[in-house]
A and B are shown apart, each in its own frame.
Chain A
Amino acid sequence: MSVNIHPRVDFDVIASLVKPGSKVLDVGCGDGELLELLQTTKGIDGRGVELSQKGVNESVARGLSVIQGDADSDLKYYPDGGFDYVILSQTLQATRNPKNVLTELLRIGEKAIVSFPNFGHWRVRASLAINGRMPVTKDLPYSWYDTPNIHFCTISDFVDMTREVGAQVETAVALNAFGSRLGFNMPWGFWNLFGQQAVFLLKR
C-alpha cells in the first residue's frame, strides 16, 4: 500500500534513524526495497506487511519476511512492543484511519518512524490557490478521483495528531523538493511551507 514516489529520498533519512541490529516492522513495505536496504546496511531483523499481492510476492522472492495485510485492519494481530521500530513510509495518507494506525504503530513498536508527503507545501497550496484545482505534481501524480491517498495532511496537522495520541517527537526531518534536509532550527511553519515531505521519529 506504500504509494510509489520515486526516488525514495525518505529511505536514506529513515535508515539514518534506525539503530543497527534492531527489530523492525515495515508497514506498507512495497516491494521490500527499504527492508532490504535496512538489512544490508543496518543488519536489522526485518518484517513487512504489504497490501498489494505483487509487492508481497516480490518481497518474499527477495528473501524477506513479508505478509499480505492491511495497515488499517491487520496491525491488531501484532503483540505489544514486539518491535524496536515500526516504519510507515509514504503510507499514512493512504490509510482509512490514520490516527488509529499511528496509535497501533506506537503500541507495537518502542518507536515509530513515519514519512509522508506534506500537503502544506507551497506548490500544493499554489495549485489550489491559483488554479483552484487539486494538485497533481510529479510526486503526487494522481487525480483526485483515482488517488489512493485519501487522508493527506500537512506537517502541522501531523504534529497536532502526535500530541493527540500522546506521542513524543524525538526527531523530525523535512526534505525539500530536491531531497535535501531543511535547516533544523526553522519553525514548524517554515517546514510546513517548504518541506515537500517529512520524516518523524516518534516514541510513546
Chain B
Amino acid sequence: MTKASRSTSKIDQKSQEATNPHSPVVDFGADKPLHLDSGVSLSPFRIAYQSYGELNADKSNAILICHALTGDQHVANVHPVTGKAGWWETLVGPGKPVDTERYFVLCSNVLGGCLGSTGPASINPETGKAYALDLPVITIADMVRAQAMLVEHFGIEQLFAVIGGSMGGMQVLEWASSHSDKVFAAVAIATGARHSSQNIAFHEVGRQAVMADPEWKEGLYLEAGTAPRKGLSVARMAAHITYLSETALHRKFGRNLQDRQNVTFGFDADFQIESYLRYQGMSFVERFDPNSYLYMTRAMDYFDLAAEHEGRLADAFAGSKTRFCIVSFTSDWLFPTSESRTVAHALNAAGASVSFVEIESDRGHDAFLLDEPEMFSAITGFIRSAARAKGLIPS
C-alpha cells in the first residue's frame, strides 16, 4: 500500500467517525433543543461518548472527563482511527488515580467535535450535507450544556467529579460555575478562567493557516472532495510548539540533523525538530476535521468566566459547595501558573474549598497528559478525600 492511499483511507475513516462513530451515541431530538450562547437553538443534535466501569445503584460514583482541543472521548481505549492507546490512560483505568474499578467514568466528544458528536462535519438534516460553517459557533458553556444533557440522560443527579486539562479544564470551571450543584468535586489542570491575548493570537495563526489553504474551499471541502491538509498541518505545527517547553524541545532534538551529516543548503527538513513537527502536522490531519479545528479554537478564545460575571471571577463561584483541585505546571507557558493562581484566589474569595498544586516539570503544557507522578499523587489524594466526604469509601 502506498503512503498516499493509506492516508486517504485514514481520511475516509475520519469522516466515518464524524457521522458513524465507533462509540455509543445519544440523539437529542426536536423535543430537546440545545440553546446556544449565540442565541440560536441547535436541534436535533448528537453526543458520542465512551464509558468505563459501572454506575452504582444510587448513581453517585460518576466521573466526567472533559477532553482538550484536539482530544476526544477515547480516554482509555484504543483509538479507532490512529490505533494508539487512549489519551489519558496514565490517569484513567483500573487501579489508576481515576480508578475505573471504583468509578463510572464518562467522556463525551464535545459539541463541535469530529468524533461523532454534532460538529461541522456532521450531516445537517435540513440540507442533507455536512454543516461546514453553517453550524452555529459553539462556546465552552454550550459544550457543558450538551454534556449536562448527556449526564441527565444517564439519570445522574450529581457527578462525583469533573476532571479535565486545558480546554477540558475550561469545561470543568464552567461546570462548577454554571452547574455547581451537579459537581461534587472539580479537578482543573493546566487551564485558566479565560483565554489570554497570546493564546487567541496563536489560535488565529492556526485558523488563518487552515483558511488560506485553497483546498479549504470556504469551508466546503467535504462537498468539493478536497481537504485543506497543508493548512491544518501548519496550524497543528504552530500549536504543537506552544504545548512544549524550550527545555523539552532542546533536550529531545537540540540542533540534531535528520538522517544527514550536514545541512543541505535547501529547505528540506534538515533538522530533527522540523521533521518531527511535519510528522505531527501530517498525522493530525489524518484524525481531525479542519472546520472542527476552527470551531474548537474559537470556543476557547471566547471563554472568559469572569466576563460572564461582570468581571468578578469570584462571583462565578459564589456559594459553591464544590471541592476544587487546581493543578498547574512550572514550564507551561500556554496556561502559566499565574492563570491557575487567579482561579485559586477567586475560589478563596468565594469561600470555596480549594487545593492548588504547581507541579515542577520542564515538559510544558503537555505535561498534564504525561507521566507526572506528583500530579498523580495530588489527584489521588484529592479524589480519595472527596470520595470519603461523599461516603463513596469509608472514612
A47 to B349, CA, bound (A): 13
By a CB distance below 8 angstroms, the chain B residues around A59 are: 355
Interface extent on A, as a size class? 20 to 34
A119 to B139, CA, bound (A): 58
Chain B 355-373 against A: per-residue CB contact (8 Å), 1 yes, 0 no?
A: 1111110000000000000
Task: State whether the Cβ of B323 lies closer than 8 Å to any Cβ in chain A.
Answer: yes
Which of the candidate stretches A61-69, A121-129, A159-167, A195-203 sits at the interface with the other chain? A61-69
Task: State whether the Cβ of A57 lies closer than 8 Å to any Cβ in chain B.
Answer: yes
A146 to B216, CA, bound (A): 63
Which of the candidate stretches A1-9, A74-82, A96-104, A134-142 sits at the interface with the other chain? A74-82
Q: Name B348's contact: one of A60, A64, A77 (CB within 8 Å).
A: A77
CB contact list, B290-322 vs A, under 8 A: none
A79 and B349 contacting across the interface, CB-CB below 8 Å: yes
Chain B 311-344 against A: per-residue CB contact (8 Å), 1 yes, 0 no?
A: 0000000000001011000000000000001001
Given A68-B344, A69-B344, 12 new contacts (CB under 8 A): A53-B360, A56-B357, A56-B358, A60-B378, A61-B378, A61-B381, A63-B388, A64-B355, A65-B354, A67-B344, A67-B355, A79-B351
By a CB distance below 8 angstroms, the chain A residues around B380 are: 61
By a CB distance below 8 angstroms, the chain B residues around A68 are: 341, 344, 356-358
A61 to B346, CA, bound (A): 22
B354 and A67 contacting across the interface, CB-CB below 8 Å: yes
CB contact list, A3-58 vs B, under 8 A: 45, 47, 53, 56-57
A198 to B346, CA, bound (A): 34
Given A60-B378, A62-B381: A53 touches B357 (CB 8 Å cut-off): yes
> By DSSP majority rule, is chain B's interface helix, strand, loop, or mixed?
helix
Q: Name A57's contact: one of B326, B346, B359, B385 (CB within 8 Å).
A: B359
Q: How many contacts A-B (CB < 8 Å)?
A: 64
Q: Which residue of the partner chain B has the closest CB to A61?
A: B381
Which residues in B have some Cβ–Cβ distance to A below 8 Å? 323, 325-326, 341, 344-346, 348-351, 353-360, 374, 377-378, 380-382, 384-386, 388
A118 to B353, CA, bound (A): 34
**A-B pairs with the 9 shortest C-beta distances?**
A63-B385, A67-B356, A61-B381, A77-B345, A61-B377, A60-B355, A60-B378, A65-B353, A63-B381
The contact sample of 24 A-B pairs, CB cut-off 8 A, is A45-B353, A47-B354, A53-B357, A53-B358, A56-B358, A57-B374, A60-B325, A60-B355, A60-B381, A62-B381, A63-B382, A63-B386, A65-B353, A65-B354, A65-B355, A66-B355, A66-B356, A67-B344, A67-B356, A68-B357, A77-B348, A78-B349, A79-B349, A82-B351
> Could you tell me the distance in whole angstroms from the C-beta of B359 to the nearest C-beta in chain A?
7
A63 to B382, CA, bound (A): 5
> Could you tell me the distance in whole angstroms from the C-beta of A43 to the nearest C-beta in chain B?
11
> Could you tell me the distance in whole angstroms from the C-beta of A46 to the nearest C-beta in chain B?
9
Q: Name B385's contact: one of A53, A64, A67, A82 (CB within 8 Å).
A: A64
> Could you tell me the distance in whole angstroms from the C-beta of A68 to the nearest C-beta in chain B?
6
> Could you tell me the distance in whole angstroms from the C-beta of B309 to the nearest C-beta in chain A?
16
A60 to B382, CA, bound (A): 6
B381 and A47 contacting across the interface, CB-CB below 8 Å: no
